[in-house]
Structure 1
Amino acid sequence: MTPELVDLLGSARVVRLPMRTRFRGITEREAVLFEGPEGWTEFSPFLEYDDDESASWLHAAIDFGWRAAPALLRDRLPVNATVPAVPADAVPGVLARYPGARTAKVKVAEPGQSLTDDVARVRAVREQLGPEGRLRVDANTLWNVDEAEHAIHALAPFDLEYVEQPCAGIDELAEIRRRTKYMGIPIAADESVRKASDPLAVARAGAADILIVKAQPLGGIHSALRIVAEAGLPVVVSSAIDTSVGIAMGAHLAASVPELDFDCGLGTVAMFVQDVAEEPLLPVAGGIPVARPAVDAGRLAELEAPAERRDWWLERVRRCYRVLERTAAL
């Protein structure tokens, strides 16, 4: 069942959630929530994404709100802590928001910072996790191949689980994977999957060992599961700084993946000061449940975005809906 645009807009609530720490250049996260027959769902492409790219996120929202989720293979998921590009001395406070997490993903290559800052931050995380903890780093495409090679050498002593999207292009990923293969540190692809016109190209090119999959950018749970099956690579299910509603979408995806060898990047509700759910999907004992949280009416009202932002988002929904109609995706 596909909703008419008028029905979609009729249930829309636009919210703005304050964040504890600047992340990805923002201190507030905006999202549109819809209530469908299957429950609440979310549309929250980043502000700079154009309509064609954002339309996949709307397709995902419709998929989760108007289509039954696949059969679940697990009811709880281990999640990683997410460490923004904070000073090393702020690391313990960040990790404290993820009680019981055995894995941490650390942002590196932050514009305006140096590799020295990255090394200090990663060292601090390793000291907090101890030798048994799992530590992964994410450069968000911001190194070239030579910079990536140098950085991976500098960070290797901290026993990296993998390096996520060190470079932008698929050819660059393949080259850095070739250069560092002897080190035994896997290369994971994120942007090369979720932002690509062909999300399977990176797997076909042998440019990554692991794929990062996110429900919203890939068009929803069912679409993402098809990509996972065709890629034939291990996957990490992650989020895009979603509210608890979007995290629930990612959790249902992760719970449907046949093999899930890595902790999920689905603990990011801990990055918000407030959330929309009655019981936010915050990490407890290193994991989150696979559940659709009830949305709190009072919190929806309290976190409602200003009128001009609401209008901006609803017009964006209209444009993206038209993209889906034009491409026969609905």
Structure 2
Amino acid sequence: MTALPPLADLLASAHVVALPLATRFRGIEVREAMLLEGPEGWTEFSPFVEYDDAESAHWLAGAIDFGWMPAPRALRADIPVNATVPAVPAERVAEVLSRFDGCRTAKVKVAEAGQRLGDDVARVRAVREAVGPEGRIRVDANAGWNVDEAEHAVHALAEFDLEYVEQPCASVDELAELRRRIRYMGIPIAADESVRKAQDPIAVARAGAADILVVKAQPLGGIRRALAVIEQAGLPAVVSSALDTSVGLSMGAALAAALPALDFDCGLGTASLLTADVAAVPLRPRGGVIPAARVAADPALLVRHAASPERAAWWRARLSRCHAVLAQTSQPHEA
């Protein structure tokens, strides 16, 4: 555990950027993030803007963990990553996949608000056609279905040979019921929101409601906390990101590099969804992998992609509030 750095130190190095996306994703077209420089190097604080201070404080703990603590020992130098396909029309799938060099796995967003199951089927079919029979496809519903809808959707998508279904329903009880219903199909269920947004991230494993954990370093409070969650859950893990800059992705890569076993391609290729970044050499997939190395923010790019003064002030105020939350708990990290 490390002491909480003074707020003044965090604010002194803080830069807020606004990075355009190649296609709309999670309802946004521009990704905002705050970059901080600690003794160990650059780190990122980037909870989505709708998250409250209590939840966002975990992200700040994760940023501090990476910037102020040495990364755990790396067990591998390269991290295999998946392509990420937003809820685009089927005819745009090939265009999106072309941004992910050499990726053998595609994660496809489904259950988008305002769309129908038929749109999901068409999108996943287009991905299967693009990646061929040897490619791997996983779908992510972001808790968008109830149990009956999820069961129906899994049946409709099963013909495309799914690697797993990520967070099909919102609650642990719903995931457990769905897992019971579709167990005969042999399609695993992965839990994301039920881990990173839960008061008890182990509850989903304890309830037998998932086969796989999707783990993100920043929202879980840092690499060490994420490693502890994985160990306690006793389930295989997929390391993923939250549309981070290349600095934030390098935090995820450090987590993936430290795992004793890495059985799945990681969701750490999402810099390919951005049309701008903070690193001179963005952490985009090359041959389906990214390096497990720290990434430094480029001063010129921090200036070029700086958010408006109003948005920078909003983020600085948010940082101050989240710092106060961590100061009250006096426990920003778990070793």
Which TM-score applies when normalising by structure 1? 0.99
> Where in structure 2 are the equivalents of 1:161-240 lying within 5 Å?
161-240=163-242
Cα deviation code 1:243-293 (max 9, x no counterpart): 000000000000001111000000000000010001110110001001112
Q: Which amino acid aligns with 2:138?
A: R
Structure 2 counterparts to residues 1-330 of structure 1, below 5 A: 1-2=2-3, 3-330=5-332
Partners of 2:260 and 2:241 lie apart in 1 by 19
The residue identity in structure 2 corresponding to 1:32 is M
Any stretches of 5+ residues in structure 2 without a counterpart? none
Deviation at 1:294, TM superposition (A): 2.5
Which runs of structure 1 show a deviation greater than 2 angstroms over 4 or more consecutive aligned residues?
A: none
Indicate the SS of the match to 2:258.
coil
Aligned-residue offset at 1:200: 0.3
Gaps of 5+ in 1: none
What letter matches 1:194 in structure 2?
Answer: R
CA contact (8 A) 1:278 1:293 kept: no
Question: Letter of the aligned partner of 1:307 in structure 2?
Answer: P
Tell me if structure 2 keeps the 8 A contact 1:171–1:207: yes
SS at match of 1:255: helix
Quote the offset at 1:38 in angstroms: 0.3
Amino acid of the structure 2 residue aligned with 1:183: M
Q: C-alpha deviations, 1:155-208, integer Å up to 9, x for none?
A: 000000000000000000000000000000000000000000000000000000
Residue identity in the other structure for 1:69: A
Amino acid corresponding to residue 137 of structure 1 in structure 2: V
Q: Distance in 2 between matches of 1:72 and 1:291?
A: 9
Question: TM-score, with normalisation over the residues of structure 2?
Answer: 0.98
Q: Secondary structure in 1 aligned to 2:182?
A: helix
What is the root-mean-square deviation of aligned Cα atoms in Å? 0.6
Aligned partners of 1:103 and 1:263 also within 8 Å: yes
Cα displacement string for residues 58-97 of structure 1 (whole angstroms, at most 9, x for unaligned residues)? 0000000000111000010110000000011100010000
Separation (CA, whole Å) in 2 of partners of 1:46 and 1:84: 17
| Aligned amino acid, residue 315 of structure 1 | A
Encode CA deviations 1:10-45: one digit per residue, 9 max, x unaligned: 000001100000000000000110001100000000
**C-alpha separation in 2, matches of 1:296 and 1:313:** 20
- Cα distance between partner residues in 1 of 2:295 and 2:6: 25
Cα separation, 1, equivalents of 2:199 and 2:48: 17
SS of aligned partner of 1:188: strand
What is the CA deviation profile of residues 102-147 of structure 1, one whole-angstrom value per residue up to 9, with x for unaligned ones?
Answer: 0000000011111000000000000111111110000000100000
Q: What count of residue pairs does the alignment treat as equivalent?
A: 330
**Is the 8 Å Cα contact of residues 279 and 294 (structure 1) preserved in structure 2?**
no
